[in-house]
């Protein structure tokens, strides 16, 4: 015996053994069920398993079958009602009512009959009565095409594509009447052995000597010794099970949070809606800076304004904007307007959280590291690379000993953990950092550098009013969606949130 064959036989389920032993080429399912002693559903299952193993080929043939129904049988026994009508008016015309009463015909059936008889020119309608024609009289003794067809159907079911022209005509007429006949679409399954199947069948596989299940008892008694067991078929097709899981973006957010936590960072949190003071002013963004315009920022209508924080901070920020706060900066040289700072916005970046965190920090908290992964909002037209609601990954390191090289070190470490091996920077500008740098990573598949983050060291104009003194604060922020869509092979950023069930089920798991 070929080893392959032996292995296959050891995988066969008892149903499969019964089925393959009974199967002859082209055998239909019902016959197989009868010959194998399996129920039809068991035989079907066995055939499917055998087909998976390449031992049989299942064929499905569709047929439309016409069968006689209860009224059809009655008509056949008692005569068609239109025939009976002809009999009733054979010698003299009768009124409609009388015919209906005598023959116990309902209105609907009577009308069908009249229509039919008229089309055969068998009757005339005269002053409310029905009169037979010579043609009609002729029909009385003869078997009609309908009767002939019904007679055939009473003996056997007939395939719809197997009708003679006369039968097709009769079928057309009878089909319009209730419960006379029925056409069903049925599927007939049959199976053929493949070459491999024929091989296996020749070996006469037997059910008896394969043990299906190893029981506790068998182990205790040692009665498993010398027995052959049925093999597991690990290649069999099984239904796909879609387990519950987090949305892949949420899952990614979790693991990004994990990266920062592992590097000793604490998470910052805050409201999505806040004042311009925190979102812009505290970050030394001039009150006439273009990012503060309506086409970039979502302002809130109601309440349009919020409360400014304690006077000292407001005063310090105001002085910094107006004249540089006495730290050797010249500030913006304008009159700072507290009303502008009170305007409520949907936060446009999570750097707002860094500003608020700095304002809360005390001398003894230093050095300190914070991160956030949180939503922010931009007045942006939605397209394949822009969202108006997006996540940012943000971070600060507040440390008297920190320097620009440390900043690069943190970003490199983070992006490496995100899967990007090569990281480089390029000079940039932000109102709140000096020096400022854009962070680029090398995309290994696209083979090009892509810009992912903004970063820098917060200017003293930001740090001094919030923290009370100048301490190096390394800072960075980046869009989450851009950093992760490549990994999921998503080229249109909107697909991250399309919530297409198929995508959610099949998308790969974040590293």
Comparing C-alpha atoms, which of 127, 186, 141 is closest to residue 160? Answer: 186
Least CB distance to ligand PHE at residue 234 (A): 50
By CB under 6 A, tell whether 475 contacts ligand PHE.
Answer: yes
Least CB distance to ligand PHE at residue 449 (A): 17
**Alpha-carbon dihedral sign for residues 43, 49, 51, 54:** negative
By CB under 6 A, tell whether 483 contacts ligand PHE.
Answer: no
Q: Is residue 369 within 8 Å of residue 396, measured between CB atoms?
A: yes
CB under 6 A: which stretch of 44-52, 88-96, 404-412, 473-481 binds ligand PHE?
A: 473-481
Give residues 392-431 in contact with ligand PHE (rule: CB under 6 A). 430
Least CB distance to ligand PHE at residue 439 (A): 9
CB half-sphere exposure, 165, CA atoms < 13 A: 0
**Which of residues 84 and 482 has its CB atom nearest to ligand PHE in the complex?**
482
CB under 6 A: which stretch of 62-70, 161-169, 268-276, 475-483 binds ligand PHE?
A: 475-483
Give residues 165-204 in contact with ligand PHE (rule: CB under 6 A). none
Least CB distance to ligand PHE at residue 231 (A): 59
Least CB distance to ligand PHE at residue 393 (A): 10
**Which of residues 113 and 411 has its CB atom nearest to ligand PHE in the complex?**
411
E strand or H helix that includes residue 65 = strand 56-68
By CB under 6 A, tell whether 472 contacts ligand PHE.
Answer: no
Least CB distance to ligand PHE at residue 478 (A): 7
Q: Which two tokens stand for residue 20?
A: 């393959």
| CA gap 424, 296 in Å, rounded | 28
**Which of residues 88 and 428 has its CB atom nearest to ligand PHE in the complex?**
428
By CB under 6 A, tell whether 477 contacts ligand PHE.
Answer: yes
Comparing C-alpha atoms, which of 7, 2, 9, 1 is closest to residue 208? Answer: 9
Residue with tokens 């069908």: 112
Of residues 83, 349, 440, 459, which one binds ligand PHE by CB under 6 A? 349
Q: How many residues bind ligand PHE (CB under 6 A)?
A: 10
Of residues 15, 248, 391, 476, which one binds ligand PHE by CB under 6 A? 476
**Which of residues 36 and 285 has its CB atom nearest to ligand PHE in the complex?**
285
As to burial, measured by CB atoms within 10 angstroms (0-12 exposed, 13-18 middle, 19+ buried), residue 458 is buried
Burial annotation 391-416 (CB, 10 A radius, 16+ → b, else e): bbbbbbbbbeebeeeebbebbbebbe
CB under 6 A: which stretch of 100-108, 187-195, 412-420, 470-478 binds ligand PHE?
A: 470-478
Contact residues for 43 (Cβ-Cβ < 8 A; gap 6+): 15, 19, 29, 32, 33, 36
CA 427 vs CA 448, 453, 456, 460: distances in Å: 18, 12, 9, 19
Furthest-apart CA atoms within the chain: distance in Å: 128
**Which of residues 249 and 475 has its CB atom nearest to ligand PHE in the complex?**
475
**Which of residues 33 and 433 has its CB atom nearest to ligand PHE in the complex?**
433
Least CB distance to ligand PHE at residue 350 (A): 7
| CA gap 10, 111 in Å, rounded | 68
Give residues 430-459 in contact with ligand PHE (rule: CB under 6 A). 430, 433, 454-456
| CA gap 490, 496 in Å, rounded | 7
Q: Would you tell me which residues interact with ligand PHE (CB under 6 A)?
A: 349, 351, 430, 433, 454-456, 475-477
């Amino acid at each position: 015996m070929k080893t392959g064959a032996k292995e296959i036989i050891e995988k066969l389920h008892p149903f499969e053994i019964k089925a393959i032993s009974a199967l002859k080429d082209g055998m239909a399912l019902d016959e197989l069920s009868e010959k194998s002693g399996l129920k039809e559903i068991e035989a079907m299952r066995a055939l499917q398993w055998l087909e998976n193993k390449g031992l049989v080929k299942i064929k499905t043939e569709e047929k439309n079958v016409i069968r006689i129904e209860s009224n059809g049988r009655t008509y056949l026994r008692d005569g068609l009602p239109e025939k009976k009508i002809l009999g009733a008016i054979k010698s003299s015309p009768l009124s409609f009512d009388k015919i209906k009463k005598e023959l116990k015909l309902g209105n609907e059936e009577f009308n069908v009959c009249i229509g039919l008889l008229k089309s055969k020119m068998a009757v005339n309608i005269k002053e409310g009565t029905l009169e037979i024609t010579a043609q009609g009289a002729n029909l009385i003794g003869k078997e009609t095409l309908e009767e002939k067809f019904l007679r055939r159907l009473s003996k056997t079911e007939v395939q719809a594509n197997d009708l003679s022209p006369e039968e097709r005509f009769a079928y057309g007429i009878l089909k319009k009447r209730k419960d006379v006949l029925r056409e069903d679409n049925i599927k007939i399954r049959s199976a053929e052995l493949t070459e491999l199947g024929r091989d296996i069948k020749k070996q006469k596989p037997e059910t008896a000597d394969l043990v299906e299940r190893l029981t506790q008892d068998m182990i205790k008694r040692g009665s498993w010794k010398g027995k052959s067991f049925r093999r597991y078929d690990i290649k069999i097709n099984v239904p796909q099970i879609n387990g519950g899981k987090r949305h892949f973006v949420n899952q990614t957010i979790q693991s990004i949070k994990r990266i920062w936590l592992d590097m000793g960072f604490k998470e910052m949190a805050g409201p999505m809606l806040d004042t311009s003071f925190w979102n812009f002013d505290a970050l030394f963004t001039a009150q006439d800076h273009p990012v503060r315009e309506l086409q970039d920022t979502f302002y809130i209508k109601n309440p349009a304004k919020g409360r400014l924080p304690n006077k000292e901070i407001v005063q310090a920020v105001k002085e910094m904007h107006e004249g540089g706060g006495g730290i050797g900066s010249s500030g913006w040289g304008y009159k700072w307007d507290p009303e502008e700072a009170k305007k409520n916005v949907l936060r446009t970046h999570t750097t707002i959280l860094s500003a608020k965190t700095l304002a809360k920090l005390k001398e003894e908290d230093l050095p300190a590291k914070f991160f956030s992964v949180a939503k922010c909002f931009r007045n942006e037209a939605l397209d394949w690379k822009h969202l108006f609601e997006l996540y940012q990954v943000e971070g600060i390191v507040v440390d008297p000993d920190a320097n620009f090289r440390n900043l690069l070190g943190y970003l490199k470490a983070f992006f490496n953990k995100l899967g990007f091996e090569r990281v480089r920077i390029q000079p940039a500008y932000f109102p709140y950092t000096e020096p400022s740098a854009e962070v680029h990573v090398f995309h290994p598949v696209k083979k090009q550098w892509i810009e992912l983050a903004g970063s820098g060291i917060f200017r003293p104009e930001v740090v001094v009013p919030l923290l009370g003194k100048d301490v190096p604060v390394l800072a960075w922020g980046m869009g989450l969606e851009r950093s992760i869509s490549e990994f999921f092979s998503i080229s249109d950023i909107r697909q991250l949130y399309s919530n297409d069930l198929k995508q959610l089920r099949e998308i790969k798991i974040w590293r």
